Each structure stands twice: as structure tokens, then as C-alpha cells.
Structure 1
Amino acid sequence: MDPLLPEPDTRPIEDPEEWYSTSMVGIPPQILGAAAFNRSLRRLTICGTRETHPGLFQLLGRCATQVEAAAAFAHYMAHHFGLGPPAPDDGPAESRRAATSYLELLRGWGGDSNSAKAAVLKGWVESRFGLVPVFHKEPLGVFPSSAWADYLREKTDIRFHNNCIHQQIDLLYEYGQWSIRHFKKPGPRFVRLWRGTNDFAGQRVDERIAGRLAEVRLNNLVSFSSSQERAEEFGDWVLETEIPTVKLLFFPGLLDDRALNSEGEFLVIGGRYKVRAYHGYL
């Protein structure tokens, strides 16, 4: 090593959030991930997505109902990204494989929020909003670590990056935001949701405010339910909070597919939230 150059800084990083700064929504992650942002009424849009796909939003503009909009979105995505089973003439049978789909990732999350497909979704949140995860199979603390290595390997798994998958999720998010503003559901600005948990490994308590009120740092992508009773089935403790609709990636009724819909599940972009925490069976 050149003796005139400084030694590289190889010290472990206590919290990668301290140096992560990517953002494609025009708001720094430190602001976007703060609890105060959740009351700001700021709209979010992923840079360039609507401009790149004007045809989709022209189609959506002709839709009078959510059902029609969901069908138009599914049609556009299938046509633009070649979704569906491989054509018979796409080569030898052993080499044919269906193109990766946003629906595949949503179903993967529904089956296991710590799967490789779920890691791809968490990686998308990192890339677009700059919010790093705090949990994937185990707490993601000091960087580097074996837990971080496993997460980084799974979020970049080439099996799920063969069909512009981040761009697909961009369109899912933008379609969801269009739908909220157009149909005023489940918003228009906020939605009260519940999350059940048996421990706080997947979220960190930053500050206890008073009694059962606390400020927590949620994972960068996390599931909530619109039903308190449903949330209680997933853990002894329940977190209750108001989610700004600009932080919804997915909500029931958005798609005509059954992905996540059967459980009334919402996919929420994380960060810090003020919550009411209580024992689900009290």
C-alpha cells in the first residue's frame, strides 16, 4: 500500500442508516424515515416512472372503477414485461422459464417475509427510498456481518432480476398511488392499521413517549392489517398506528390477483412511526 495514502476505514458500522443516502423520490432518507414525515401530507413519486410509461396512466384514466383499473394494470404489465408462461417456441423446454413478475414477489412475501423474494422487495425500498432494513431472518445490526451478507446475497439473487423487476415494482407503487388519489381508498391521506408481533426483533423501540405510546423504527418494508382482530392472530402484542397512504406499496383490492388479498394485508414502507402498543388479548 502507498505509505502516502490514508489507511482505509474498515471499522464496523453500528447502523448502516448513518451512511445510506440513495433516494429516487426527491426526499432524503433521514427525512422520509422520520416519524414527523408521516404527518407532512407530502406526496411521493418515483423519478421518471410515470414519464416512461404514459400509456399506462392513459389507460387508467379511462377506468371508472377499481376493478377496471386493476384489469387495465394487469393487462399493461403482462404486455410490457412479457409476463405469463413461456411460449412453446422460446427454446428447449429445460431452458424455458417464466419471466420474473411483481406478482411472484408479492406471493413470495405472503408466504415468508424473510424469503429471497421478500429480500428483493426490501432491496427495492432501499434503492428507491433509501431506507435500510433492520431485520431479515435475524436482526441486521453492525455492518458488515454474516446477517448482512445473507441479506445482500438474497436481495440481488439473479433468479429474480431477469425482467426489470425494480421497474415493475416502481409501476406497482405508482399505480397504487394513482388509485388512492382517484378512488380515495383506502385513504385518501391516512389509514389506521394494526400489526401483530411476538417480539420486537423486527422493529426497534427508539423512544417510549408515555404509557403504551412509543416511537419505533419498523423494518423498511412491513406487513399490517386493517383488522385489529386479524393482527392479534400474528402475535401477543399489537402495534396500532396511522399510516400515510404515500407509504403504501400494496393494499387489498389494488389488484385483481389474490396475492395477499385473502388476509387483508397491507405492505407498508417503513421507517420510524409513533405507535400504540398493547397486549393483543387484554
Structure 2
Amino acid sequence: MRHCYCQHARHHAGPLQGRHSEAYELYVTEGTRGLYATNALEAQLDLLYTYCQYELLQAHPEETHLSLYRGINRIDEHEILETLGGGRYRVLFNNLNSFTSSRERADEFGDYILIAEVPLPKIFFFNRLLPGMLKGEDEFVVVGGVYEVSISTL
């Protein structure tokens, strides 16, 4: 389960179904508007990601992937690209997605648990990165794309 392919945005106030759709035009307009008067937001996000990657490599020098969990209520809430059998699916996730490294915590968010082997470079942020801040769910913010996941019941 170590397949992951990069994709573009899939959803923003509605499915993004081509460059000429109304939802896509709204997405581009709002994205452009967000670049102005943000105090170098892009540079800040780049720094946060770089620091996250550095810390992940320090904590997991021998690993290329982490097993992360996501509580869900229905698999069909996700964009399923392929059903692989045995409770495994190929799923397309949107831009940023919340996972946890705690299986027990994931079951608080749904009746089923998605299990994904997430490549370290796809982890944008994790809450232990900034001590004293954002405590609680042992959250990992993961960049979207195609992931092979397995699903388990509680």
C-alpha cells in the first residue's frame, strides 16, 4: 500500500470539473485574492513544510512512510478510483487531509477507519511539531493525491 500520485485540487465549493466550470473559476479567483496582503504567506508555509520534513527525518531516519489513520462513516464519502478487494481501495484525496497516528483517536471520528501508508514528503504538518500548540488529536495534515488505503471496522 505505498502507491501515491500527485493530483490537482479536486473540490472547492463544489467538484472542480474542468477549467471552464463555474466552481473552477471561483477556485482560481479566491486563490488569487488570497495571495495579496498575506505577509508572505507562501514563504511562511514553505518554511513550515521544510521544518516539518526536517523533523520527520530526524524522528524517522529509516522510514519512508508512516501508517496513519482517518475515521470515516462511509467509504463512498471519498472519491474511489478503484476497489481492490479485501477492504482495500484506491482513493483520491483532496488537497489537504487530516489523519492521526493514533488508531484509537481515529475511531472517535467515524464508524470505520481508513489506514494509509503515507510517504513522509506528503506530510505537510503534524501537531507535535510546535510544542505547546495544537494539542489533542495527534493530527497529521497530509497533502492529497491518490492513496491505496485499507478500511477496518472498529
TM, length-normalised to structure 1: 0.47
Shift of 1:201: 6.7
Pick closer, same or farther for the CA change 1:160–1:257 going to 2, 3 Å: farther
Q: 1:197, 1:253 → 2: CA distance?
A: 23
Pick closer, same or farther for the CA change 1:155–1:209 going to 2, 3 Å: same
Gaps in structure 2 of 5+ consecutive residues: none
Residues 1-150 of structure 1: pairs in structure 2 closer than 5 A: 36-37=3-4, 131-150=7-26
Residues 178-217 of structure 1: pairs in structure 2 closer than 5 A: 178-184=54-60, 188-199=63-74, 203-217=78-92
Gaps in structure 1 of 5+ consecutive residues: 1-34, 39-129
Shift of 1:134: 1.6
| Structure 1 vs Structure 2 CA RMSD | 2.7
Over the matched positions of the two proteins, sequence identity in percent amounts to 35
Match of 1:228 among 103, 110, 122: 103
Shift of 1:267: 0.5
Shift of 1:161: 4.6
Aligned AA (1:276): S
Pick closer, same or farther for the CA change 1:202–1:135 going to 2, 3 Å: farther
TM, length-normalised to structure 2: 0.81
Q: 1:203, 1:134 → 2: CA distance?
A: 11
Pick closer, same or farther for the CA change 1:245–1:161 going to 2, 3 Å: farther
Pick closer, same or farther for the CA change 1:268–1:158 going to 2, 3 Å: closer
Conserved 8 A contact 1:133-1:221: no
- Kindly indicate which of the two structures has a greater share of residues assigned to helix: 1
Conserved 8 A contact 2:15-2:23: yes
Q: 1:169, 1:153 → 2: CA distance?
A: 20
Task: Please tell me whether residue 269 in structure 1 is matched to residue 132 in structure 2.
Answer: no
Q: May I ask how many residue pairs the two structures share in their alignment?
A: 153
Q: 2:109, 2:79 → 1: CA distance?
A: 18
Higher relative contact order (CA 8 A, sep 6+): 2
Over alpha carbons, which structure has the higher Rg? 1
- Kindly indicate which of the two structures has a greater share of residues assigned to strand: 2
Pick closer, same or farther for the CA change 1:179–1:133 going to 2, 3 Å: same
